[in-house]
Every structure is written in C-alpha cells, then in structure tokens.
C-alpha cells in the first residue's frame, strides 16, 4: 500500500516508520481503541479515516450477526441494535451494541460494517452509519419514493452502492375505481455521488422481492445478492440473483423441498460461513430444516 503520509512530514510516532505505525499497529486496534486514538493528533484522525485504512481495519474484525428490534413493554418505544459474537468464540453471546433514539428507525441493510438506516419521516429519511467510528450521514433519497433492496461495494470501481426500488406511482382515477400506473423499477444509488440514481429496469418477480424486503431476506455472498422466491405451482422454487459486478439479475434453482400438503412451511436463505444456506420451518417454528 502507498504511504498514507507525505514525504518529509512529521512521523506519527518518533523512531518508527509511518507504514509500520499505520499498517501494523493502528490497523490492529479494536474499534473502540481506534476511535480514541483519533484524539492523539489531527494526523492520526486523517490517516485512520481514509478508505484504504477503514477497509483494511474492517477486514480484520470478526464477523458479527446484527439484529434490530424494539421493546415497548414499558410503554416507551425505542430501537436497539444487538450483535451476536462469532459462534467459534467460547464466550459467544448476545450483546447490546447501540440504541437508536429516533422513534421509527430501523436497520434495512448492511455492508462492510456500514449500516443503512431508515426513518419513518417525510423527505430524505435514509442515512449511512458507521458504528465503529460513530459517524452518520443522511442520504438525499426520499423514503416515500424509494425502497432499499440491498447495499454492496461495487468491486470494479470500489464505490458503495444501494440497490433501490423506485416506488414512483401515478394515480389515475376512473369513474368507478382507482387505477395505479407504476413507472418505477430498480435504481442504483452511488454513495457520495452527486449524480441522480440510475434506473436498470424491473427485476424478475418484483412483487415477491418487494414483499420480502425489510425482513432481512437478502443475502450478500460471493459477489451476488440472493432472494428466495416461491414458485411451487411451477414445479420448483427459485432464487433470484443480482450480480453486483455486472449489476444484472438472473435465476438459480433452489434446493428441492419435501413439503407435506398439510404442513405449510416458511423458507428463506442465510449465509452459513461463506456458503449459501436455506432453512425451512413450519408456522409454529417447531420444526426447522437446514
């Protein structure tokens, strides 16, 4: 990697090359210690805020499962983000990670440690949050017009992008009924860009994909986003795949399930240590197959 400081600048630590300080010491710090280190000197804050450093630091962190929910048992509504430690750890357990104060806020997507948050308010109500650095930035995307399907890093360009569904609708009122004509489709929104979102058309089985959004249904794995689609009447279930490099959709055959006529199942996908997994459970969640 290229030096993060210019030649002749004051060294970050006297007696040590900056490359050693950055790529062998700072990059190994846990998130909380890294956040505190930024108070040492403005140069430390600048170095630890670069894209290359943040990506390298994140790659060294353990993978954590994230769940978002609320508890209004006491009459007060609030949001929590809960993390579950890596299963390989001996002390793996649920831990309270952070609390969101906004009334109707939820985590709708995540990628490389970044969280995409949605707020049930008018106007621009999406924001990107980095819990490790306590930084948050609003996005110029109105909630009432766009629905996020997933977030990913576009490897050919290194840009972070959000796959959105444009909910733009034109209402046409007839004499006896209302007819809605949808003029939307999928759009690509580039984080940090001043350019408008780019429309790539409708995804196959758009209604099924939209009905599963907001429930953690998308699985980002090996350069593709995956959604499970039920098509039993057509002889088999399918998986809709979005290639994040070419930004195009395709289909993949889902595993064959043995479904009893009197035992309806709920099926979905999950990431199983780098392998695409699928689970099925009945309505009472008393039977779970993987």
Looking at the structure, tell me whether residues 53 and 135 fall in a common domain: no
51 with 115, same domain: the answer is no
38 shares its domain with 118: no
Q: Which of 61, 89, 111 is the last residue of a domain?
A: 61
Domain limit, last residue, from 42, 61, 80: 61
Domain that holds residue 182: 102-289
Note whether 41 and 142 are same-domain residues. Answer: no
Question: 124 with 266, same domain?
Answer: yes
Domain match, 109 and 54 both: no
Using CA atoms, how far residue 12 sits from 23, 32, 40, 47, 88, in Å, is 12, 20, 10, 10, 36
**Same domain, yes or no, for 174 and 30?**
no
Asked whether residue 90 is domain-assigned, the answer is no
| pTM > 0.75 | no
Q: How far apart are alpha carbons 150 and 51 in whole angstroms?
A: 21
Number of structural domains (the chain) is 2
Q: Is residue 70 part of a domain?
A: no
Q: For the ranges 25-34, 38-47, 100-109, which has the lowest average pLDDT?
A: 100-109
Q: How confident is the model at residue 160 (pLDDT cuts 50, 70, 90)?
A: very high
State whether 123 and 206 are in the same domain.
Answer: yes
Please indicate whether residue 64 or residue 7 has the higher confidence score (pLDDT): 64
CA dihedral 112, 116, 117, 118 (to 10 degrees): -160
State residue 152's pLDDT score.
Answer: 93
Convert the pLDDT of each residue in 127-159 to its tens digit.
888 877 777 888 887 777 788 889 999 988 889
């Amino acid at each position: 990697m290229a030096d993060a400081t210019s030649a002749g600048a004051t060294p970050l630590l006297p007696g040590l090359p900056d490359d050693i300080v950055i790529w062998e010491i700072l990059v190994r710090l846990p998130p909380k210690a890294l956040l505190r280190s930024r108070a040492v000197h403005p140069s430390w804050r600048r170095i630890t805020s670069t894209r290359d450093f943040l990506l390298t630091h994140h790659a060294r962190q353990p993978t954590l499962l994230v769940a978002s929910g609320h508890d209004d048992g006491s009459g007060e509504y609030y949001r929590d983000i809960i993390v579950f430690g890596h299963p390989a750890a001996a002390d793996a357990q649920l831990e309270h990670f952070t609390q969101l104060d906004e009334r109707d806020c939820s985590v709708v997507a995540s990628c490389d440690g970044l969280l995409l948050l949605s707020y049930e308010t008018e106007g621009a109500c999406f924001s990107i949050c980095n819990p490790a650095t306590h930084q948050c930035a609003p996005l110029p995307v109105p909630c009432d017009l766009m629905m996020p399907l997933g977030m990913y890093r576009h490897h050919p360009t290194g840009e972070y992008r959000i796959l959105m569904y444009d909910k733009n609708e034109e209402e046409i009122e007839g004499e006896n009924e209302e007819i809605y004509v949808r003029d939307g489709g999928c759009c690509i929104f580039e984080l940090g860009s001043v350019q408008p979102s780019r429309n790539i058309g409708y995804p196959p089985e758009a209604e099924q994909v939209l009905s599963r959004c907001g429930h953690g249904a998308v699985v980002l794995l090996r350069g593709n986003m995956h959604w499970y689609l039920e098509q039993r009447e057509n002889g088999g279930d399918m998986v809709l795949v979005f290639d994040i490099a070419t930004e195009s959709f395709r289909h993949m055959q889902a595993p064959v399930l043995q479904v009893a006529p009197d035992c309806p199942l709920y099926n979905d996908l999950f990431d199983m240590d780098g392998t695409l997994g699928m689970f099925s459970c009945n309505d009472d969640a008393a039977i779970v197959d993987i």
